Structure 1
Amino acid sequence: MKQKAAATLLVLSLSAGLVSTVQADSASGSTATSTATSTASNTSGASSAVTSKTASTTGQALPTLTLKQAVEWAQTNNYNTRSTERDVERRRIEFKNAEKDLGNAYLDLIEGEYVGDEASWRNYNSSTLSYLASKKQALYAKDQLYFNAMKTYQSVFVAENQVKNDLEALEIAQAEEKIALAKFARGKLSEYAKNESVQARSQAQQTVEQSKTALQKARDALNFLMGQPNGSVYELVDRPIYKEPEKLDIEVHIQQLMDMNPNLWKLEDNIKTSELNVRYFDFNSGAGAYDLAKLDVDTAKEELDKGQKDFAESLRNLYATFKDNQKKYVQLEESLITAKEGLELSRKKWARGLIIELELKNSQLKVEQIERQMEELAIELNQNEYTLNKPWST
């Protein structure tokens, strides 16, 4: 009966874990999009040149696609998500069946013991652990899928920016080629220099084609994830907008995430499973096997301790990267102010005929490139912060 009392305590512990898992499930949904780097459904200014150009060729406006919709389609299309949900239901049924079996044990009046009691309790404890593990794995799979969908969605913005950069570089190369050809025709430029300019323009054209191909690949990667046909084009509207996050005590944050980390949950479950093997050990296996079972408990505890230390260190490193990227963003903001001042000065000079149009274009290009760098860094910060809150998603 002492063994039954010990098992009862374990059941209470497992039941508490079952409640905490449900609470974690709720918390997971509420924090998945609660990051300091937010997204904007309405982009400032006109739609991207690349997207607008695609729309104009069809004569119709492109369908819009939010990040939320992309994630929902990805979840519907993802086999792993459906598989983990089925596994949760399977483990729930096994858990309920084991719970019913506890009531089937009967008292042997001669021996004064519950017949079949030990096997029933062992099966119940084991099925409880399996059910808890399946729920945690389902949370883990959803967080992973969300992060993958977010990265794939945002990679389209990066690819679009690269096309814009390359198109502008081509425009500069074409202008420089035009000047070079005019100088060569007047005998003011060598044929070698002229050929260099022509080659530079040709290379710029090839680069544009390569970046357009990369953009289509990025779009098709998103289509594949969402279960949409290749070649589908959407106007993505949730462009990340950087906002300075609230102050974070990383050590407190680490302790909070310790209880939420599915990888650590698994290590904790290994300890519980090892302890069950000791508690319900079949001594017909021999004393040596019992010593090995106890050793498994010690090993599982050491693995958990190491896992916690590694997890804490990885979070500290991730937080350091996040802080570095914040500093880079501030530096880019300062560079943008300087570039805009330079552009304004170039406009005044061009209006007075002091510089050629090519110099004005270069000043404009510098501003636009910094703005795109800021957007791409905002994307990186957005992903940094998500992984900082859900490090198991990567």
Structure 2
Amino acid sequence: MKGSGRLALAAAAAAFIALTMLQSAHAETVVKGYIVESNKNQLKLTLEQATKWAQENSYLLKTANQNVDRNAIMLRSAADELKQATRRDNHEDDDDSGPGDAEAERAALKRYEAAASTYEEAKKQIPLVMDQLEFQTMKAYYEAITAANNVTSSKESLELALQEEKIALAKAARGKISGNAKGKAVQARMDAERKLAESEAASQKVVDNLSKLMGRMQGTVYELVDIPTYSKPKALDIELHIHDLTSSGSPALYKQENAVKQAMTEASYYNGTAISEYQLKALDVEAANMELAHTKEQLAESLKAAYLSIQQYQAQYEELQRNLQIARDEQALSENKWRRGLIPGIEVKTNEIKVKQLERKVTELAIQQKQTEFTLFKPWLM
């Protein structure tokens, strides 16, 4: 019995050690080369990892990749058909070769060019969808940061309201303030509680949207570690930038340029005798060119607007920094007065909250800057 007891004790100890090692191993979650630190309550989440998960979970991206594969098969089929038609038309010993074979080759060439164009368009969709997902994830990630900031601000407001209510109740008990004044303090605390509940619900909704985008479990709590910081905008020749992005081959113009090519192909392959039919195809070419020109104009206007916004952010940032410095000075002064017993602690708390809220406004401005800069260099997302 004693021997079996020792064995049982040793087995239990071994099991405890194994369990400890297993728990330690699970302290980190490895996801395709990215280590995401996690614990029981929170998951540390970088913007890069969020984007990667969103891409892996995207139905649109999976569909775009399947579309490329499908069009590759169709292109190979069209190429084989063209090869056979060309071989028949060039067969010197075939007595049946003639106008019919030439027309068949012409039709096969048209189908091949159409398949090649569709295949190229399908391939171009992949990086565009990737950009779209990156921007969508960035927005969701930053919205979660903003929502969390709103919760923090609501908590601070509630903390202040509770202190003010406590002071009001004490004064009312000594007859120092009216019942109406006491009621206002109580109502202010109740409003602050309601606002906190609303901001927490809104924050959870935003985080759940982020989880859904990434294909993660609803209700997951994240520690969002990539908090953006404001930076002075880099020098940019906006006119040259607009010229580059409105030139031929820009991803922002690919669909319109491809529409022009297809319209011109249809017109060039028309070999009928009906003048009206040819005129309609010529009008299609003209309409496609007009749409391309209109898109270029809209794109240029959007780029100018984004560039102007970035310049305005700089002025807003400088103003925020001035206000923040004033608030910090006021906070330091109030702390000094409080230590000397000249003012109540609630004034110190009020100034402290004012500083923190201005700091969060700087973060929100940095978020606006990052998103606008993203679209400035990838305007097809506008």
Whether the TM-score (by the shorter chain) exceeds 0.5 is yes
- Deviation per CA, 1:287-344, whole angstroms, max 9, x where unpaired? 2111111111111111111111111011111111121122211211121111111111
Partner of 2:294: 306
Residue 392 of structure 1 pairs with residue 375 of structure 2: no
Moved over 6 A (4+): 110-114
Partner of 1:95: 75
Matches of 2:79 and 2:241, distance apart in 1? 37
2:264 to 261, 275, 279: 275
1:73 to 53, 61, 65: 53
Shift of 1:260: 5.6
1:151 to 131, 139, 144: 139
Matches of 1:240 and 1:323, distance apart in 2? 18
The within-5 A match list for 1:61-210 is 62-104=42-84, 105=86, 106-107=89-90, 109=92, 115=102, 116-210=104-198
- TM-score when scaled to structure 2? 0.84
SS in 2 for 1:241: coil
Shift of 1:82: 0.4
Shift of 1:97: 2.8
Matches of 2:376 and 2:217, distance apart in 1? 33
Partner of 1:42: none
- Deviation per CA, 1:347-375, whole angstroms, max 9, x where unpaired? 11111111110110111111100100001
The within-5 A match list for 1:353-372 is 353-372=341-360
- Unaligned 5+ residue runs, structure 1? 1-54
Matches of 1:314 and 1:240, distance apart in 2? 24
Matches of 1:186 and 1:362, distance apart in 2? 25
Contact 2:81 / 2:108 at 8 angstroms: preserved in 1? yes
Contact 1:64 / 1:235 at 8 angstroms: preserved in 2? yes
Contact 2:172 / 2:178 at 8 angstroms: preserved in 1? yes
Matches of 1:98 and 1:214, distance apart in 2? 53
- Unaligned 5+ residue runs, structure 2? 1-37
Partner of 2:324: 336
SS in 2 for 1:240: coil
Paired residue type of 2:377: N
Matches of 1:345 and 1:314, distance apart in 2? 46
Matches of 1:392 and 1:304, distance apart in 2? 14
2:205 to 204, 207, 217: 217
Partner of 2:306: 318
Contact 1:319 / 1:388 at 8 angstroms: preserved in 2? yes
Shift of 1:345: 0.9
The within-5 A match list for 1:8-87 is 60=40, 62-87=42-67
Moved more, 95-104 or 84-93: 95-104
Moved more, 346-355 or 109-118: 109-118
Partner of 2:254: 265
Contact 2:253 / 2:295 at 8 angstroms: preserved in 1? yes
Moved more, 115-124 or 226-235: 115-124
Paired residue type of 2:174: R
Contact 2:233 / 2:314 at 8 angstroms: preserved in 1? no
Matches of 1:82 and 1:95, distance apart in 2? 20
Alignment RMSD (CA, Å): 1.8
- TM-score when scaled to structure 1? 0.81
Partner of 2:27: none
Paired residue type of 2:268: R
Identity of aligned residues (%): 39
Structure number with greater CO (CA < 8 Å, separation at least 6) is: 1
Shift of 1:261: 4.3
Residue 242 of structure 1 pairs with residue 230 of structure 2: yes
Contact 1:261 / 1:392 at 8 angstroms: preserved in 2? no
Contact 1:95 / 1:124 at 8 angstroms: preserved in 2? yes
Moved more, 120-129 or 206-215: 120-129
Contact 1:63 / 1:235 at 8 angstroms: preserved in 2? yes
Shift of 1:73: 1.0
Shift of 1:263: 4.6
Pair member with larger Rg:
2
Matches of 1:260 and 1:271, distance apart in 2? 13
Partner of 1:50: none
Paired residue type of 1:273: Q
